Structure 1
């Protein structure tokens, strides 16, 4: 019963956000699927490496919750811009960035669990990580 209510709530929230933003429902749904897959792969990695920590799990879940809050804020911001005549694809860019972040995290978790990831993808992830870290330092 609890899972059914959670799925209903998640689907309703996704539909509402997509409706407010005028966004294709599919892109937000893909982000939510990636988010859930990242949580599952993180749990599997923790069991695999025998490094399961409720503190790490709590941190991860609060970050995910903060991303949902941030997404709602971006939806509001985009709606305000749209009402004032500015058509900027802010939400689409934001959701795509979140999708790439989740995808990268899933790849890292799978790599830690021993799944062979093609070297070109790992190189791409290292380049992105270097660029992000260099931007944080400046």
Structure 2
């Protein structure tokens, strides 16, 4: 079954609003715990580094809270908050995989290639593909907004 990223997010949903908010928070907590354990085990623990990491987590929590607040206050489509949550969950998943790899836990090759992707330049084909996907995502959001306006 071949499914595009846009189709995945179009059909992706949480069981209820609470999970939309709770899942990223649980992933953040797990990332903090694994990162701290890894830093202590490898004797690389630095409180300054932890403060920077915790400030980033605080920013992610602020984004979640603001997203929820605006979603309810402005009656925005729930897909918007689902997208914000999914993005944070994906970031945390990658960070957790990095921590696992640093701890010596075997990480599947397809995940490892994403996690260890240090070449951030895009080929022309990749750029065209990403541009096409972005345009499709914009079209999907516009369609969802139209549907939301018709219902409301």
Partner of 1:89: 79
**Native 8 Å contact 2:25 2:61 kept in 1:** no
Computing the radius of gyration over CA atoms, which structure comes out larger, 1 or 2?
2
Q: CA deviation at 1:129?
A: 7.6
Q: Is the 8 A contact 2:21 2:64 kept in 1?
A: no
Unaligned runs of 5+ in 2: 1-15, 128-152
2:47 matched to 1:68?
A: no
Which of residues 115, 121, 127 is equivalent to 2:111?
A: 121
Q: State the distance in 1 between where 2:84 and 2:98 align.
A: 21
What TM-score do you get using the length of structure 1 for normalisation? Answer: 0.68
Residue equivalent to 1:53: 46
Alpha-carbon separation, structure 1, partners of 2:58 and 2:98:
21
Q: Secondary structure at the match of 1:130?
A: coil
Counterparts of 1:1-138 in structure 2, within 5 Å, are: 24-82=17-75, 86-87=76-77, 89-126=79-116, 130=120
TM-score of the superposition, structure 2-length normalised?
Answer: 0.62
Which residue is 1:20 aligned to? none
Query: What is the total number of aligned residue pairs between the two structures?
Result: 108
Question: Please, which runs of 5 or more residues in structure 1 have no aligned partner?
Answer: 1-22
RMSD over aligned CA atoms reads: 2.5
**Taking structure 1 as reference, are residues 77 and 131 closer, same or farther at Cα in structure 2, changes over 3 Å only?**
farther
- Structure with greater helix percent: 1
Q: Deviations over 1:10-41 (max 9, x none)?
A: xxxxxxxxxxxxx5212322211111100001
**Distance of aligned partners of 1:87 and 1:28 in 2 relative to their CA distance in 1, 3 Å threshold:** closer
